[in-house]
Amino acid sequence: MRTRPLWLSRLSPLMLVVALAAVVPILMGAPRAAAAQASCTGNAMVFDARDNGQLWLYVNTAPAAGTASWSTVKQIGSGFSGLVKAGPNGDVYFITSAGQLRLYHFTGTGWTNPAGLTIGSGWQYYLSHTDQITIDSSGRIFVVDTNDTLREYHYNQQANSWDNAAGDILDQSWSVRGSILPALIASERAMPNNYIASLRLAQMQIAAKHYDEAEAACDRGLAREPGANGRAWLLQIKAKVFIQRGRKAEARRLLEDALHVAQEIPDPMGRDMSMGMISNALKAAEETPK
């Protein structure tokens, strides 16, 4: 089940899942019009699902401005060893290692259903294809299934049932190479000074197992002189490329560089969050055979 077109997802190895009050859609190829204004009131809850199964909450107080303004940082759960995706208004969707889909709701101060509500099964495919499922600001789940079919699902919380249990088919042949990569390549070319465009392209190239292209995209992003946060993020993605190639020693060196760069992030909370995630990735890389 997917929640939004894949290029709108922040396909991050850091496993950050952001729940914003509203999302401004991106229309690929639409005529140029006046820039849309972001509609995002209040705070944004950011859920950090860690490798050890802990779930942490970060609260950004200025999501529309995009500034590193954080208030709350605290652990709010454990046992989340699987895939976590955030929905609107504090909804958290969790795919367990057995493929169960569970729905939780966090109010900002606590859970309304600490045990979660099991609303589906057979979702294990997305544990290894995390970039093929996402959720939009209306709670719609978008997925690209094993047949490259783009489907949309919606769980009706008032009725406690699916509006469309089989999923509505939105498009066919929704492959990474055929549909998403060309848009990201065009986006990077259109924004030659934006490192995020290179970063998103690199993430999708990894998903498509185009490791040479992914490494090149990381290098282009690094050449665009991002700040400490962007540089640390790009180095982590590049390290993932090397891990996929079996070049573990080089990947560990990149993660060590990323950890050093992350120390320069000016916002204390953002710095601590980035360093913690890089440390976890470095630990995982050190535990893999050399």
Residue 91 has pLDDT above 50, yes or no: yes
Q: Between helices 195-207 and 211-223, what is the axis angle to 10°?
A: 170
Average pLDDT over residues 126-150: 88
State the pTM of this model.
0.60
Same domain, yes or no: 199 and 94: no
pLDDT tens across 1-60, in order?
A: 333 333 333 333 333 343 332 222 222 223 333 444 545 567 888 888 988 899 999 888
Same domain, yes or no: 126 and 13: yes
Domains held by the chain: number: 2
- What is the domain-level CATH number for residue 227? 1.25.40.10
Same domain, yes or no: 28 and 139: yes
Same domain, yes or no: 261 and 187: yes
CA angle 10/27/130 to nearest 5° reads 25
Same domain, yes or no: 147 and 12: yes
Residue 1 lies in a domain: no
Tell me if 21 sits within 8 A of 139, measured CB to CB. Answer: no
* Residue type for position 125: Y
Domain span holding position 141: 6-171
Output phi, psi for 18, to 5 deg. Answer: -105, 130
Single out the residue in 139, 171, 203 at which a domain terminates: 171
Q: What is the DSSP letter of 106?
A: B
- Retrieve residue 279's tokens: 């440390």
Residue 277 lies in a domain: yes
Same domain, yes or no: 125 and 231: no
Q: What per-residue confidence (pLDDT) applies to 288?
A: 55
Same domain, yes or no: 14 and 146: yes
pLDDT tens across 247-265, in order?
A: 989 999 999 999 999 999 8
